[in-house]
């Protein structure tokens, strides 16, 4: 609640980098892992997709920034509690894949 | 039994979008967008020409049930977040007391629960009046402050502060709203407030939702009602996310939390729940007999909840 106000501003990756389109579930998962790694300032190889993001120290500020990045990336509006409801990369990716699939026309699935 | 006789709220006319404040405070625009998108914050009210005394008097001026009953007012309390609200030797509280003809009233401020001090002041006022034993005696509680410095305009990563005020007339007789239960808990390890270390702030974030839920459930229990019987929650206006998460945790419908003012007032220090009370009446969201909760959190850190029957 009282962390430095410029924390997200220090994020090294540009927003436009985050917003490049993923092409499938594996890409979405990889993109998510990349985003989380960037926010945590860790190599992607250190991000275990089954570990809760909060356990890595991803606080609410980063959680909401991540949520905003996902909204931009997928061009959809998401629940503000997304990262609390789906707290790991695996859970988050699976949920987002369902949302993306639900948005596709039936013939495109 | 403590009762609320009347509440009046005042919001200044100057509307400032959060982007304008964010730019002034050199905030990252992305963070401001997060505040708007996920916290539900949009604008706040400022009164550039008015001082704190004027802010308080503007609320008191709408408290029509005080007119003609000034001699019954035994206590005047100012609930405030900031310990210093005016340069020495100014004393806005005494200035207001004089302007309202209440020089006879015992007058003091309550600050130690920070933004939860408004509920503490109502509780204290009721306890003092009950101890005196005069059923006609009243107490006047003020809440709301000037967002006059950068640290009073923003709680980093949490909310923007706005200017707005409330005057609350408290009694022990047959008031409009009966206080049924009050619960409060202070976690002293977070007493550094805005100067907490990153580690301590992370710890506070971890306990925040459970701390909020605990006092809500404790207040409801002390009131002898079930949470399901609570018709409306009059929340703090810190941000929308806190309430969406709390409602999920408690299984309480979020549409029964009055979130309408978050976008238009921001967080008005100790005044939020009282400003929301007036809005609830204007929107006809409280009917006679309805039970409702006022809930507040103060940095430092104090969680408080009060159950009333309208």
Q: What confidence tens digit (pLDDT) does each residue in A37-71 have?
A: 998 999 999 999 999 998 888 888 888 989 999 99
A4 located within any domain: no
- Could you say which residues from 187 to 216 on chain B have a Cβ atom under 8 Å away from some Cβ of chain A? 193-196, 198, 201-202, 204-206, 208
Residue B158 near chain A (CB below 8 Å)? yes
Q: For strands B302-309 and B291-298, give the pairing.
A: antiparallel
How far is B294 from B279, CA to CA, in rounded Å? 13
Tally of domains within chain A? 1
Q: What percent of chain A has pLDDT over 90?
A: 51
B40 in the Ramachandran plot: left (φ > 0), alpha (ψ -120 to 50) or beta?
left
Q: What does pLDDT average to over chain B?
A: 96
The gap from C-alpha A105 to its chain's centroid, in whole angstroms, comes to 24
Instruction: State how far the alpha carbon of B146 is from the alpha carbons of B68, B69, B152, B167, B171, in Å.
Output: 29, 28, 8, 15, 27
Which of B30, B194, B245 lies nearest to residue A8, judging by beta carbons? B30
Structure-token pair, residue B223: 């009131």
Q: In terms of CA atoms, which chain B residue is nearest residue A68?
A: B34
Res. A103 pLDDT band, cuts 50 70 90: confident
Contact B202 A57 (CB under 8 A): yes
For residue B207, is pLDDT > 70? yes
Whether the predicted pLDDT of A7 surpasses 80: no
Q: Render B227-269 in DSSP notation, one character per residue.
A: GGGEEEEE--SS-HHHHHHHHHHHT--GGGB--TTHHHH-B-G
Distance (Å) from the alpha carbon of B189 to chain A's nearest alpha carbon: 14
Identify the domain containing residue A66 by its residue range: 13-108
When pLDDT is averaged across residues B94-117 and rounded to a whole number, the result is 97
Q: Where are the domains of chain B?
A: 3-171, 177-309
Other beta carbons less than 10 A from residue A44's beta carbon:
13
With an 8 Å Cβ cutoff, are A81 and B30 in contact? no
Beta carbon pairs, A and B, within 8 Å:
81
CB neighbour class for B250 (10 Å; exposed up to 12, middle 13-18, buried from 19):
middle
Mean per-residue pLDDT for B17-28? 95
Rounded Cα–Cα distance for residues B138 and B80 (Å)? 20
Chain A, 58-87: which have a CB under 8 Å from a chain B CB? 59-61, 64-65, 67-68, 71, 80-81, 84-85
Beta-carbon contacts of B107 under 8 Å, excluding residues fewer than 6 positions away, are B75, B76, B77, B78, B93, B94, B97
Give B140's strand partners: B76, B169
Q: What is the pLDDT of residues B259-295, one digit of tens each?
A: 999 999 999 999 999 999 999 999 999 999 999 999 9
Torsion of CA B16, B19, B24, B27, to 10 degrees: 150
List A residues 12-51 in contact with B (Cβ-Cβ < 8 A).
Answer: 15
Model pLDDT for residues B159-198, shown as the tens digit of each residue: 999 999 999 999 998 778 999 999 999 999 999 988 899 8
Residue of A9 and B309 predicted with greater confidence:
B309
B151 touches A: beta carbon within 8 Å: no
Question: Do B3-171 and B177-309 agree at the fold level?
Answer: yes
The reply to whether omega before B301 is within 30° of 0 (cis) is: yes
Instruction: Give domain status of residue A8, yes or no.
Output: no
Correct CATH for B177-309 of 3.40.630.10, 3.40.47.10, 3.30.420.310, 3.40.50.970? 3.40.47.10
Q: Where are the beta strands (DSSP E) in chain B?
A: 3-10, 14-17, 43-46, 73-79, 106-110, 138-143, 154-155, 159-160, 165-171, 177-186, 230-234, 291-298, 302-309
Nearest CB partner across the interface for A68, out of B34, B198, B245: B34
Mean of pLDDT over chain A: 78
Angle between helices A25-40 and A89-103 (to 10 degrees): 140
Q: Which residues pair with B257 in a beta bridge?
A: B233
Residue reference for tokens 């892992």: A33
CA–CA separation, B12 and B24 (whole Å): 20
Domain assignment present for A2: no
Q: Is residue A68 a contact partner of residue B37, using CB atoms and an 8 Å limit?
A: yes
To the nearest whole Å, the CA of A87 is away from the closest chain B CA by 14
Which residues between 16 and 45 in chain B have a beta carbon less than 8 angstroms from any beta carbon of chain A? 25, 27-28, 30-31, 33-34, 37-38
pLDDT of residue B188: 95
Residue range B3-171 in CATH 4.10.640.10:
no
Q: Can you tell me the mean pLDDT for B131-160?
A: 94
Q: Is residue A21 part of a domain?
A: yes
The reply to whether residue B241 touches residue A1, judged by beta carbons under 8 angstroms, is no
Q: Which residues of B are less than 8 Å from A6 in CB distance? A: 27-28
pLDDT in tens, B213-264: 999 999 999 999 999 999 999 999 999 999 999 999 999 999 999 999 999 9
Q: Provide the ipTM.
A: 0.75
Distance CA B92, CA A54 (A): 44
pLDDT (average), residues B11-37: 94
- The pLDDT, as a whole number, for residue A106 is 62
Residue A29 sits in a domain whose CATH number is: 1.10.1200.10
To the nearest whole percent, how much of chain B has pLDDT over 90? Answer: 89
Return the pLDDT at A4.
35
Residue A42 lies in a domain: yes
Mean pLDDT of B113-136: 97
Q: Is the pLDDT of residue A107 over 70?
A: no
Distances (CA, A) of B19 to B26, B45, B178: 10, 13, 40
């Amino acid at each position: 609640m009282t962390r430095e106000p410029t924390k997200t501003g220090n994020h090294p990756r540009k927003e436009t980098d985050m917003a490049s389109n993923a092409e499938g579930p594996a890409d979405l998962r990889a993109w998510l892992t990349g985003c989380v790694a960037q926010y945590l300032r860790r190599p992607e190889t250190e991000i275990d997709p089954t570990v809760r993001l909060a356990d890595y120290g991803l606080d609410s500020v980063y959680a909401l920034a991540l949520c905003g990045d996902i909204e931009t990336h997928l061009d959809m509006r998401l629940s503000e509690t997304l990262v609390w409801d789906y707290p790991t990369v695996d859970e988050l990716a699976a949920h987002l894949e369902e949302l993306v699939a639900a948005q596709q026309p039936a013939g495109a699935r | 039994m403590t009762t609320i006789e009347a509440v009046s709220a005042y919001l200044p006319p100057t509307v400032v979008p959060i982007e304008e404040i964010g730019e002034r405070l050199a905030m990252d625009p992305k963070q401001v967008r997060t505040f708007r998108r996920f916290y539900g914050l949009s604008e706040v009210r400022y009164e550039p020409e008015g001082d704190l005394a004027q802010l308080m008097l503007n609320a008191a001026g709408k408290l029509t049930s005080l007119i003609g009953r000034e001699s019954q007012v035994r206590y005047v309390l100012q609930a405030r977040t900031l310990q210093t609200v005016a340069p020495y030797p100014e004393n806005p509280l005494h200035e207001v007391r004089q302007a309202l003809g209440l020089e006879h009233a015992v007058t003091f401020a309550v600050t130690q629960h920070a933004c939860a001090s408004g509920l503490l002041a109502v509780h204290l006022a009721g306890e003092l009046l009950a101890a005196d034993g005069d059923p006609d005696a009243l107490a006047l509680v003020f809440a709301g402050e000037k967002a006059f410095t950068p640290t009073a305009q923003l709680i980093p990563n949490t909310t923007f502060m706005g200017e707005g005020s409330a005057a609350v007339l408290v009694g022990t007789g047959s008031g409009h709203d009966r206080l049924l239960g009050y619960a409060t808990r202070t976690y002293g390890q977070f007493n550094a407030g805005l100067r907490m270390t990153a580690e301590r702030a992370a710890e506070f974030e971890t306990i925040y939702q459970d701390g909020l839920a605990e006092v809500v459930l404790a207040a409801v229990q002390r009131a002898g009602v079930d949470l399901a019987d609570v018709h409306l929650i009059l929340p703090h206006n810190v941000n929308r996310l806190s309430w969406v998460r709390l409602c999920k945790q408690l299984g309480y419908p979020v549409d029964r939390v009055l979130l309408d003012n978050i976008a238009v007032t921001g967080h008005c220090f100790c005044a939020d729940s009282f400003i929301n009370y007036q809005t609830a009446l204007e929107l006809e969201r409280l009917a006679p007999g309805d039970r409702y909760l006022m809930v507040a959190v103060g940095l430092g850190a104090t969680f408080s909840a009060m159950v009333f029957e309208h």
